[in-house]
Amino acid sequence: MNRVWLPGIVLLLAAACGGGDGNGGAEEVPEDVVVYFENGNVIIGDGSPMIEDAAIVVDNGVITAIGPRSEIAHPPGADRYDMSEHTAIPFLINVHGHVGYRRNNDFGSHNYTPENAQVDLNRYLYYGVGAVAVRGTDLGDTAMQIRDAQAGSETPHTRIYTSGRGITAARGFPSDRDELSDVPIQVSNETEARQAVADLAAMNVDFVKIWVDDNRQISGQVFRGGERVNNFSSVPKLSAALYAAIIDEAHQSGLTVAAHVRSLADAKALVAAGVDGIIHSIRDQAVDPELIDAMLENDVFFTPTLARHQIEFVYCDQPDWLRESFLRESVSGAVISRLTNSAVVRGYCENLNEPTRRQEFARAMENFKTLYDAGVRVGLGTDSGAAETFPGYFEHLEMELMVEAGLTPMEAIHVGAARSAEILGMDDLGALAVGLPGNFIIVPEDPTADISASRNIAEVFFRGERVERSSMMVDFSN
Ligand SMILES: [Zn+2]
């Protein structure tokens, strides 16, 4: 399976290091590689203060020492890597994403192949996103095969977690979307609901995804890319009885359940039914103490997907980030041309739902801050890889939106790193610490002063090895 997931990535180990350690020549390098990163700052990822003038020792891919340089000696024979006063940040973790659906301006499940899924995983790696939980759009066993082949691999990769296909009501959202019509498992009674979970468990999914949405708040004319793509009307919504059965069946199989949700009422009912995660913002009204208390009591996690909710109108606004090379490095020119085309932009601005969507986004930002302040388990989720959202870039954009919502940059990084890793149950990613792999990005400016500094990546290191990012860009033209 190696061939599917490393197109064009060349590992440059010694090239990043000072060399000259004299410990036996290039042939033996993989057996004993120690790198001493110095002359830079380090963000641990757990919310603790940045370590200035730090050093990191990575021994055969694993961090064996980290802290102020004054306390970390250079191991005899170790290669030196000069961080040039840059700052190291641990890999980000995306708790809600998608892979494999886009080829240039063509988006949909028909594009889902192992190769196209891998291109998106490479996009995540390019931007220092160390893992992605794909929620509901993995067809067949492709994602499980990629995941299982990744296990124990020391080849640079972004780890995939999968829920396989998500579950919705018969003719429910998003089966009404032409490009997603074959994606959800549609259930109409409790027997089918339980069987769907049993089938997913048999496929060894990591968790279950459900959609609880009836489209009602966005019914009417909807434009995408300047063209009217649908005239949405309400669709059947997964009933409380059915999602209760799904949650019960999943928990019996040791699986958690995360829900796509829009409304406060649905969120409350889902939490009461035992759902484990809410993976979009509540957008119809302000969250209230009843929901907050229930989420805290049941330890329900939450990913706001702010960047996802913003795209409903952001291309009308033509934000500065559309012109960033950091974005354009991984998004094809054809896609950028469309999203900046004047007719397309006008279409976004004239979308009849646009004012509603702006209100929903503002509410999403407020609700996120409220839930964060209340101590709800919050993770970074973007929905990137869904239409008009871009894997890798959007995780950095999401942190900026978290800061706009009121978090400090360090809090946003904490959410994007350790807090998200904890949600996915990972004990080996999400922070830089002794015993964990040396997986981090380095950025020239201080992201704790301005979070947008995370969007200027100088290098990505996987297990202490420099990832050859420029060679990956060849695969990003589709
Ligand atoms: Zn999604």
Provide the 10 A C-beta neighbour count for residue 324. Answer: 16
* d(CA 75, ligand 1 centre) in Å: 45
pLDDT beyond 90 at 30: no
Average pLDDT value for the chain:
91
List pLDDT tens digits, range 408-459.
999 999 999 999 999 999 999 999 999 999 999 999 999 999 999 999 999 9
Confidence at residue 4, expressed as pLDDT on a 0 to 100 scale: 30
* d(CA 228, ligand 1 centre) in Å: 22
List pLDDT tens digits, range 259-302.
999 999 999 999 999 999 999 999 999 999 999 999 999 999 99
* d(CA 258, ligand 1 centre) in Å: 11
Terminal-residue alpha carbon distance, the chain: 22
Q: In which region does residue 73 sit, left (phi positive, over 0), alpha (psi from -120 to 50) or beta (all else)?
A: beta
* d(CA 167, ligand 1 centre) in Å: 12
* d(CA 135, ligand 1 centre) in Å: 6
Which residues surround the ion ligand 1 when the cut-off is CB under 5 Å?
135, 383
DSSP state of 468: -
Exposed, middle or buried, 412 (CB in 10 Å: 0-12/13-18/19+)?
A: buried
- Name the residue with higher pLDDT: 235 or 203: 203
Q: What share of the chain is helix, strand, coil (3-state, %, to 5)?
A: 40, 20, 40
Give percent of the chain with pLDDT exceeding 70.
90
CA 225, distance to chain mean position in Å, is 24
Indicate the pLDDT class of residue 225, thresholds 50, 70 and 90: low
DSSP state of 476: G
List pLDDT tens digits, range 52-62.
999 999 999 99
* d(CA 360, ligand 1 centre) in Å: 17
- Of 128, 152, 155, 148, the C-alpha closest to 30 is 155
Residue 42 CA: distances (Å) to CA of 60, 69, 90, 349, 447: 20, 11, 9, 42, 11
DSSP β-bridge partners for residue 384: 97, 386
pLDDT beyond 50 at 143: yes
* d(CA 184, ligand 1 centre) in Å: 12
Indicate the pLDDT class of residue 230, thresholds 50, 70 and 90: low
* d(CA 98, ligand 1 centre) in Å: 6
* d(CA 417, ligand 1 centre) in Å: 20
What three-state secondary structure class fits 158?
coil
Confidence at residue 356, expressed as pLDDT on a 0 to 100 scale: 85
Indicate the pLDDT class of residue 353, thresholds 50, 70 and 90: confident
- Of 211, 217, 257, the C-alpha closest to 237 is 211
441: CB partners within 8 A, 6+ apart? 88, 89, 91, 127, 128, 454, 457, 458, 459, 460, 461
* d(CA 65, ligand 1 centre) in Å: 38
* d(CA 102, ligand 1 centre) in Å: 14
- Of 367, 453, 363, 444, the C-alpha closest to 410 is 453
* d(CA 179, ligand 1 centre) in Å: 14
Tell me how far apart the alpha carbons of residues 125 and 265 are, in angstroms, rounded to a whole number. Answer: 37
* d(CA 11, ligand 1 centre) in Å: 32
Indicate the pLDDT class of residue 15, thresholds 50, 70 and 90: very low
List pLDDT tens digits, range 37-78.
999 999 999 999 999 999 999 999 999 999 999 999 999 999
List pLDDT tens digits, range 392-412.
999 999 999 999 999 999 999
CA 420, distance to chain mean position in Å, is 9
- Domains of the chain, each with CATH number or no CATH: 2-90+431-477 (2.30.40.10), 163-423 (3.20.20.140)
* d(CA 136, ligand 1 centre) in Å: 7
Backbone angles phi, psi at 143, to 5 degrees: -65, -40
